[in-house]
Amino acid sequence: MNGEKEHPVYGTSPGRGPGDAGPGAAPSRAAPAGGPASVPRNAAAARETVTRLLASRIHGPAGEGLAEVVVSDALLVTSELVTNAFRHGGGLTGFTAELTGEGLLLAVADASTDAPVASPHPPRTAHVGGYGWPLVCRLAERVSITFHPGGKRIVALIALA
């Protein structure tokens, strides 16, 4: 009779988390100042969080930072999404910024189940309002919206290269 038994292995197998990247590695995820449970109080605070996160990213052969336009795009998308959450979304209920292999992943949650709407203006007519959402869609590589009973979550990916 075979006395050996197979024991199922419980618990997490060794995986890659933010702490596994090695000593001195740049943080890959940023939470707004005030602790992970808080959300940025306005667009400027959210931009500050993203700025700090991007500043830690070494990119390019000489170890230089990210291209100016990439930082601009990331800040613009951050600002628009957070502004919309407060202005049209019944309030910002969640905010995360994370560096992944694909780029900067921004997740913005709000308390409204209304979908973002782009104003139906013809392009290049310099109408006064309604630029925010089209700007997000143009600058982000990918945007997804997930609805749930209490609101929605918008995830935007900004390519960093």
94 close to 77: Cβ distance less than 8 angstroms: no
- Choose one: 2-10, 40-48, 52-60, 106-114; the region binding other proteins (CB under 8 A): 40-48
Question: Which of 72, 137, 77 shows the shortest CA–CA distance to 107?
Answer: 77
Query: 3 pairs with which residues across the strands?
Result: none
Least distance between other proteins and beta carbon 50 (Å): 11
Asked if 28 interacts with other proteins (CB under 8 A), we say: no
Tell me how far apart the alpha carbons of residues 131 and 39 are, in angstroms, rounded to a whole number.
24
Name residue 94's amino acid. G
Give the residue, chosen from 66, 76, 106, 160, that forms a contact with other proteins under the rule CB under 8 A: 76
Q: How many residues does the chain have?
A: 161
Asked if 108 interacts with other proteins (CB under 8 A), we say: no
SS3 assignment, position 117: coil
| DSSP symbol at 111 | S
Instruction: Pick between residue 124 and residue 148 the one whose CB is nearest to other proteins.
Output: 124
Taking residues 50 to 69 in sequence order and writing x for each that binds other proteins by CB under 8 A, - otherwise, the string is ------------------xx
Residues that bind other proteins (CB under 8 A): 42-45, 47-48, 68-69, 71-73, 75-76, 79-80, 83, 86-87, 123-124, 126-129, 131-132, 134-135, 138-139
